[in-house]
Chains A and B, each alone.
Chain A
């Protein structure tokens, strides 16, 4: 029971101020990601859009979904889920992006045009 004492049977009650701050941050980031799309940053438009989406996801997961206050086992399961998503995307792309190697055996540099094409 000792590890439960600070959480208690009632679960962690997040202060309303934290919820409102997270909400405002999410709204600002939505405005930011929309605004950035109207500025020509070249390849960085994609990077900015995805980076902002990841930050927004972390805010929702940590505070709205209470993962910041969750037990270790729950966190491990969540991290494992995203790790497997990473495997799915990375291994699929490692196939797709390296198909040019067969006909253009110049080594790893032949992947660069394909990487550019991603964005």
Chain B
């Protein structure tokens, strides 16, 4: 009992869990654990990238027709939006590291959320909804107005659009989860949970947010660009 009393008596940094040697070790363990999760995410998305590469190699013409159905300006805009959100996320973490006020941290977090939401709004209103209107969402009447032009490639154009919707859909789902995580971080910051000694939840949530950005960094060229956009491509 006296041991416990002595233990409670000495000061602990906020957020420090007793099983760790010190704050640095705790942060290292948290970061390593998050990366172990992100490695499973790399392989999760990697399965889709692998099948995309293989089916693209088998049905190149259909995939290029499909790629040309996507509008580069929206993909490029969304890439820029996500890069901005990665910067604001990095600055939110930096604000916590350098002991800035919680208002500053929350401002950067909210900016990150606004940019994340902007990505989803662009995706839904300028890409997915027009795709639905133009019958290029895979289904019974997929691209019926273009079947004459596509000829034998039509099934593979549809296959490309399946890849497109599954890959961007899964990515968008990760964005929605990221917005939920950011909401929790805003609440935790408002409740003074973070300090320069302890900001691990911000740090590892940042890892997740940047990872989702990296997935898009690969989806953008693979889906929108590698068919070429020059005349005659």
Contacts and interface: CB of A to CB of B under 8 A. Distances in A.
B32 A118 contact: no
Contact of B226 (A46, A65, A71): A46
Give the interface size bracket for B toward A.
35 or more
Interface stretch (B36-44, B119-127, B130-138, B186-194): B36-44
B91 A19 contact: yes
B225 A34 contact: yes
Interface string A89-119: 1001100110000000000000000100111
A71 B23 CA distance: 15
Contact of B54 (A9, A30, A93): A93
A96 B80 contact: no
Contact of B57 (A11, A30, A66, A96): A96
Interface residues of A, number: 59
A30 B83 contact: yes
Interface of A: 1, 4, 7-11, 13-14, 16, 19-20, 23, 26-27, 30-31, 33-34, 36-40, 45-46, 49-50, 52-53, 56-57, 60-61, 63-66, 70-71, 73-74, 77-78, 80-82, 84-85, 88-89, 92-93, 96-97, 114, 117-119
